[in-house]
Structure 1
């Protein structure tokens, strides 16, 4: 074989190998694109722009738990099609809530030796405005209806509300000034009409009425209470016993909450109730399973909450008036926020 023939054969082989390699890369890219559109055994998830001021109708934002490249990202779906394709934002949060063009995103920062946590305030395009260190594992987050106040709760010891061996830290920030109350336990407590002081006071689960008033859970002496908070006077006033993780209705008249019920297992003690703030009358919802979440009002008559699912959590709904039945709203999702 001549030298020229050998060179021709070598060149042909190189070209063939290059073509095969290019084809493999393009095929892999195509498959990756397909995976970006459709998660295995789960909802379709695709990348796109996510805004806190949606232009195309009412929108539901969630932390997406579907397995794939967009797990833990905040994703959007139309409220009328919660099972439809999700638009992933690229922003990952452990806990999330949003209102009036402001969001709070609780994130883990993975270190070489241990994880740390932070609370990030986001604008309407989910861009960072400000960040604060968080003292422990994120568990609750809320934004006031105006977007001017944000609050979050973390576990600083323990990792479950079910027992008594845990401690939380709840912070509140004014997004107009970035002034922070980094521990609501420093507020003055009024219990049963009298000033109250105890070393075991624990506060969690803020829900806002406006830019001054909020509600939360106060625990002390082995009992929990619904408290009304006042930012201006830095006070917490007890209103009702056996209330945890309150959520204020859109009209400000009712509180959805989890209540410990007699006879329930120690590790699954709660059922979902609604409290009328004018009469203090309690109504049990039709959801009879254990609820370890801070429920959200989808509208004036419907509650949304998380229950364990195949990929972590699913979202469920139930009427707030005690009628009807619980139904699953979305699979593989948690931390909902309704916009628009």
Structure 2
């Protein structure tokens, strides 16, 4: 091959590489643009004012529909989950609200890697304070009065299904801004005796008032329902095999996920309701594994997330074990009922 032929081959190769690069760039741009366009058949979402004030029955949740409002807090009337959504410009990975106070766990884009923070919001979604997070956001709750907030992050591992994970759960008083950085510092009473272990983890706080709460304690390969006291900085176990409890509006029952023997280790849970007066458990009609901290829509119905075409959908099931599960909303996550 002479010099002229070599030059021709080189130029042809360069042209081919340039064409491949151009096609790759165009395809990447198309994919990015697709994320900013509402997906066919997806819910209608428009920008507008979103409030956490308890002045009318409404839902506020993380909008999962593709488009410019993906991951923003959005709202619909509580009785019309299929209605067109009004979206704020506040993005959250996890969210909850009560009595005009919101807790938003956010991702913060970084030059090298993303970081995370917990942002306390007022009723108009304005930031009051924010706190750095040590890991990936997974759970968030607010006390009924709006004063106390709690959050859980993964600091090792990324799923409750396995055994190789570590969490950090914090509780914050929004009146004094006193922060309990880690519930692992609380005194533990397990089955009536003081308990200490290096593998202690807490997750899934749900408040009964501004002092008392329920949560999950994991240790020694087992999980326990605990009742905690923020003022006394203590928790005590109530029963085993309870994860991510959520207290009913009337304060009489907890809905939770329970590991059931014989199920896949990747999908090990079923939903149950625990009557706190009798400690009787009732299995719910949802037969799929639910990895979520369930929300009560009212005293009779619970709401939870399952995987969907847009990332997550919200489903409901009666809280008394009757009926059947039904999809309530597509492309939604982390709901809070207000008003």
TM-score by length of 2: 0.88
1:40 aligns with: 40
2:287 aligns with: 288
Q: Is the 8 A contact 1:188 1:236 kept in 2?
A: yes
Q: Is the 8 A contact 1:40 1:67 kept in 2?
A: no
1:182 aligns with: 181
| Structure 1 ranges of 4+ moved more than 4 A | none
Q: Report SS of the residue matched to 1:225.
A: strand
Instruction: Give unmatched runs, 5+ long, in structure 1.
Output: 1-31
Give the whole-Å Cα distance in 2 for the aligned partners of 1:121 and 1:54.
Answer: 17
Q: How does 1:261-280 map to 2 (within 5 A)?
A: 261-280=260-279
Give the whole-Å Cα distance in 1 for the aligned partners of 2:253 and 2:330.
Answer: 27
Post-superposition offset of 1:278: 1.2
Post-superposition offset of 1:40: 3.3
Q: Report SS of the residue matched to 1:150.
A: strand
Give the whole-Å Cα distance in 1 for the aligned partners of 2:320 and 2:333.
Answer: 23
Q: Is the 8 A contact 2:140 2:204 kept in 1?
A: yes
2:29 aligns with: none
* 1:142-196 deviation digits (Å, cap 9, x = unpaired): 0000000000000001000001000000000000011100000000000001111
1:239 aligns with: 238
Q: How does 1:1-340 map to 2 (within 5 A)?
A: 40-53=40-53, 55=55, 57-340=56-339
Equivalences, count:
305
Larger Rg: 1
Give the whole-Å Cα distance in 2 for the aligned partners of 1:177 and 1:234.
Answer: 16
* 1:257-307 deviation digits (Å, cap 9, x = unpaired): 000001100100000000111111110000000000000000001000000
Q: Is the 8 A contact 1:156 1:166 kept in 2?
A: yes
Post-superposition offset of 1:81: 1.2
Instruction: Give unmatched runs, 5+ long, in structure 2.
Output: 1-32
C-alpha RMSD over aligned residues: 1.2
* 1:235-273 deviation digits (Å, cap 9, x = unpaired): 110001100000001111111000000110010000000
Post-superposition offset of 1:199: 0.7
Give the whole-Å Cα distance in 1 for the aligned partners of 2:112 and 2:167.
Answer: 23
Give the whole-Å Cα distance in 1 for the aligned partners of 2:64 and 2:127.
Answer: 22
Q: Is the 8 A contact 1:218 1:226 kept in 2?
A: yes
Q: Report SS of the residue matched to 1:214.
A: strand
Q: Report SS of the residue matched to 1:185.
A: helix
Give the whole-Å Cα distance in 2 for the aligned partners of 1:54 and 1:212.
Answer: 22
* 1:112-160 deviation digits (Å, cap 9, x = unpaired): 1111100000000000000000110000000000000000000001000
Give the whole-Å Cα distance in 2 for the aligned partners of 1:40 and 1:175.
Answer: 42
Q: Report SS of the residue matched to 2:236.
A: strand
Post-superposition offset of 1:84: 1.1
1:20 aligns with: none
Q: Is the 8 A contact 2:215 2:225 kept in 1?
A: yes
TM-score by length of 1: 0.88
Q: Report SS of the residue matched to 1:299.
A: coil
Q: Is the 8 A contact 1:39 1:45 kept in 2?
A: no
Q: Report SS of the residue matched to 2:184.
A: helix
